């Protein structure tokens, strides 16, 4: 058995399917099981020119007839969704953003061209035996990377809570791509949506514990909320992130304040000083009143002192407790309260 990874366009797969040179249902494959939401998300991924996993197929060469048949080993659900959209049988929902309500025929010619020209990496198993194919199929499934909690949520939920958080994560990709608040590698696994979810949680339910169980609980509790519920939260998220980037990115993008645990603390502190969150779980000895405003000139000087503390080894030095709390379990409220108090006082 030989294998050869190559790149093909969607138009190639459409042509093979029309010529009956593509088999989507060999014996080892399941039938079509994807939900409409999953299909729409894939098409939106393609139309935004974002990557999708490679597919595997067995290529059977018929030398007498000089033809070939491609049997899909892995990637059947993706290819079915692509062909369904290309044939006009799939209409995009609001989960596709600006493409909402469109079929393939409704797309602008430039978007149609982008769709057809989208490149898919495929590994061909040339004239592989059934035993070889089943071995590959079994290994692909057994070696799959364990999904993250964020990926599980994205698969389970299709309500507005998910899409408000997902679209915010995508629109603020500068946080992941440029400032590395979450690494690009983690963002690919949707861990950036976990950070974004906490932005919404801070504004919606107040300052509290974080972490994946708390985020999943929030998705569950807000599952029935309509899209309009999240609009004012999104407006505040955009305002706060934009202000933090404008005021701090030049001097602090390579400090702890642009790592996700403390970026969340800065976000919460700004939200508090703007009067956007309640006093729930706010430290009792915090003398600064909610809504008193942010002094960014003062903030830059004081945050620089806190950042410097990470280079000091003296446990009695100023802000040593902030450093210690950062190195502890950062999603627990006890750690967060200590860091929150320091940042609020530093930027007020």
Q: Note the pLDDT tens digit of each residue in 9-20.
A: 999 999 999 998
Cβ-proximal residues to 15 (8 Å cutoff; 6+ apart), any chain: none
Sign of the CA dihedral with 159 first, then 163, 164, and 169 last: positive
Average pLDDT, the chain: 85
Q: What is the pTM of this model?
A: 0.65
CA angle 30, 160, 291 (to 5 degrees): 145
Confidence of residue 30 (pLDDT cuts 50, 70, 90): very low
Is the pLDDT reported for residue 31 higher than 80? no
State the Cα–Cα distance between residues 265 and 199, nearest whole angstrom: 10
pLDDT of residue 76: 86
How many CB atoms are located within 10 Å of the residue 36 CB?
14
Residue 330 has which token pair?
A: 């950062």
Q: What length does the chain have?
A: 348
Encode pLDDT of 142-187 as tens digits. Answer: 555 566 888 778 767 878 999 999 999 989 989 998 999 998 778 8
Q: Compute the average pLDDT of residues 331-335.
A: 80
Encode pLDDT of 198-233 as tens digits. Answer: 999 999 998 888 889 999 999 999 999 999 999 999
Lowest pLDDT segment from 111-120, 150-159, 302-311: 150-159
Q: Compute the average pLDDT of residues 108-119.
A: 95
């Amino acid at each position: 058995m030989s294998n050869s990874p190559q790149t093909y366009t969607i138009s190639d797969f459409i042509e093979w399917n029309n010529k009956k040179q593509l088999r989507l249902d060999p014996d080892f494959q399941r039938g079509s099981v994807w939900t409409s939401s999953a299909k729409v998300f894939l098409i939106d991924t393609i139309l935004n020119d974002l990557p999708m996993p490679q597919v595997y197929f067995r290529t059977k060469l018929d030398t007498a007839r000089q033809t070939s048949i491609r049997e899909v080993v892995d990637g059947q659900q993706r290819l079915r969704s692509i062909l369904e959209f290309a044939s006009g049988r799939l209409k995009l929902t609001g989960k596709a953003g600006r493409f909402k309500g469109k079929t393939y025929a409704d797309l602008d010619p430039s978007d149609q061209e982008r769709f057809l020209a989208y490149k898919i990496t495929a590994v061909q198993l040339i004239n592989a035996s059934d035993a070889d194919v089943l071995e590959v199929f079994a290994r692909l499934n057994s070696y799959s990377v364990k999904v993250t909690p964020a990926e599980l949520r994205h698969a389970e939920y299709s309500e507005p809570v998910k899409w408000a958080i997902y679209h915010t994560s995508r629109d603020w990709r500068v946080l992941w791509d440029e400032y590395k608040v979450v690494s690009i590698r983690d963002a690919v696994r949707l861990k950036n949506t976990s950070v974004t979810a906490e932005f919404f949680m801070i504004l919606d339910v107040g300052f509290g514990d974080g972490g994946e169980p708390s985020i999943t609980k929030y998705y569950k509790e807000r599952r029935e909320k309509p899209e309009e519920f999240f609009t004012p939260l999104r407006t505040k998220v955009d305002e706060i992130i934009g202000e933090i980037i404008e005021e701090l990115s030049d001097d602090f993008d390579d400090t702890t304040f642009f790592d996700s645990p403390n970026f969340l603390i800065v976000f919460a502190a700004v939200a508090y000083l703007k009067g956007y969150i309640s006093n729930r779980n706010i430290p009792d000895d915090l003398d600064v009143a909610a809504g008193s405003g942010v002094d960014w000139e003062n903030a830059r000087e004081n945050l620089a002192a806190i950042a410097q503390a990470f280079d000091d080894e003296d446990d009695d030095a100023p802000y040593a407790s902030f450093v210690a709390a950062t190195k502890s379990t950062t999603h627990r409220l006890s750690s967060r309260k200590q860091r929150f108090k320091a940042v609020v006082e530093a930027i007020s």
